């Protein structure tokens, strides 16, 4: 009998993208092949507690079901051992034993935003010497930080829109001076974003000084750094990447926002966002975008997966790379799996391939010398 891999699907997290992660995890757990894998869902609650074997679908239902919520609250609180040998989770709460073997073969993080997509939890997995799906520590960290990401894009010769970055102490020290500088160097409208966040959380379109001040204050509630980008009247495009040393790039898709830009409500509440896959771009233009996406992937030293997003200025037709998303949304309605489905790779096949890539990268790291 073939050994079934024990896959820990880690979801939830401490970031404000917690609910997005729950929705993604529902699809991942549903589509993982139970003929191949034993699946252990592990939720990271907003307070940071890790709960063993809690189904994401149940957690979503628990908000309206007090009895179910009470049952889930009794799930074992666990921690990951970091002894580099065991790949073991153990119980913390009253030292109770886990209801099943706590050893896992691989971790599949379905976490969005800080403390899940930014390299922090990837560092924990590296310390524990356990294979995991997705980008490594460096790629995750620079893929989350929009300031550093753009610096690396520019070093690779990739076009980006003009932008300014400020720290919170600069805003507190001289807000009027900061606003004056923004107005001198950029023109309205501008997009204001937390530098380290995703899912369009905290993003605003500022069309005048009053809106700019309000948008900056809002963005600083999510991060200590804020990036202000020159606004464009633009079309939005995206493509998906899958692989380690020899990554593949999907077809190009176009994003059609339900509002003036793709915000959180558009994506996850109202579901008004639409995708055109493949895009209507000429074949040569689509090929150029796919090449740019691959250069971005390599410039940030990414692995496993990523989605790369672009803007096209409607006025001059110029393309700009917007950002990469190293753990994109993973519901069956999300753009990343849809791009691969249109490119001939079904959702279950995509999950299988991501697990294979995680094992492949882990084996390469294991082969490296750690001492003289």
Which positions are catalytic? 17, 199, 334
Q: Give residue 332's region: left, alpha or beta (phi > 0; psi -120 to 50).
A: alpha
CB 326 within 8 A of CB 353: no
Give 326-337 as a 3 state SS string: CCCCCCCCCHHH
Binding residues: 146, 191-193, 199-200, 229-236, 309, 322-323, 325
243 cis-preceded (ω within 30 degrees of 0): no
Distance CA 233, CA 252 (A): 20
DSSP SS3 for 153: helix
> Which among 345, 233, 327, 339 is positioned nearest to 286, based on CA atoms?
339
Pairing of strands 5-12, 106-110: parallel
Bind-site residues for ATP: 146, 191-193, 199-200, 229-236, 322-323
Instruction: Look up residue 3 and give its DSSP letter.
Output: P
Give the span between the Cα atoms of 37 and 18, in whole angstroms. Answer: 25
CA dist list (Å): 231 to 131, 161, 163? 40, 8, 9
Rounded Cα distance, 117 and 332, in Å: 20
Task: Kindly state the tokens that stand for 86.
Answer: 């065991």
CB 24, CB 334: distance < 8 Å:
yes
Distance of CA 135 to the CA centre of its chain: 10
Under 8 Å CB-to-CB from 249, ≥6 apart: which residues? 239, 240, 241, 290, 293, 294
Detail the residues annotated as belonging to a binding site for Mg(2+). Answer: 309, 323, 325
């Amino acid at each position: 009998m073939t050994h079934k891999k024990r896959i820990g699907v880690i979801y939830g997290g401490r970031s404000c993208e917690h609910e997005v992660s729950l929705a993604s995890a529902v699809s991942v757990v549903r589509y993982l092949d139970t003929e191949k894998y034993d699946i252990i869902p592990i939720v990271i609650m907003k307070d940071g507690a890790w709960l063993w074997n809690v189904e994401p679908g149940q957690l979503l239902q628990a908000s309206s079901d007090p009895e179910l919520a009470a049952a889930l609250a009794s799930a074992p609180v666990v921690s990951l051992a970091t002894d580099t040998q065991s790949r073991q989770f153990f119980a913390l709460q009253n030292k109770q034993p886990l209801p099943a073997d706590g050893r896992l073969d691989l971790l599949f993080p379905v976490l969005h935003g800080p403390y899940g997509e930014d390299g922090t939890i990837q560092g924990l997995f590296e310390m524990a010497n356990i294979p995991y799906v997705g980008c490594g520590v460096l790629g995750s960290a620079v893929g989350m930080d929009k300031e550093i990401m753009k610096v690396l894009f520019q070093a690779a010769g990739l076009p980006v829109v003009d932008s300014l970055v400020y720290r919170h102490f600069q805003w507190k020290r001289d807000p009027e001076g900061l606003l004056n500088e923004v107005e001198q160097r950029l023109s309205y409208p501008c997009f204001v974003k937390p530098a380290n966040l995703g899912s369009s959380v905290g993003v605003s379109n500022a069309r005048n000084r009053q809106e700019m001040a309000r948008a900056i204050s809002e963005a600083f509630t999510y991060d200590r750094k804020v990036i202000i980008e020159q606004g464009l009247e633009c079309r939005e495009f995206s493509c998906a990447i899958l692989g380690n040393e020899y990554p593949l790039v999907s077809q190009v898709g176009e994003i059609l926002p339900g509002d003036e830009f793709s915000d959180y409500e558009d994506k996850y509440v109202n579901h008004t966002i639409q995708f055109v896959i493949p895009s209507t771009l000429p074949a040569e233009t689509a090929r150029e975008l796919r090449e740019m996406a691959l250069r971005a992937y390599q410039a940030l030293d990414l692995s496993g997966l990523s989605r790369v997003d672009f803007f096209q200025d409607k006025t001059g037709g110029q393309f700009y790379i917007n950002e990469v998303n190293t753990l994109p949304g993973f519901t069956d309605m999300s753009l990343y799996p849809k791009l691969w489905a249109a490119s001939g790779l079904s959702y279950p096949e995509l999950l299988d391939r991501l697990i294979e890539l995680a094992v492949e990268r882990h084996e390469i790291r294991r082969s490296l010398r750690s001492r003289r």
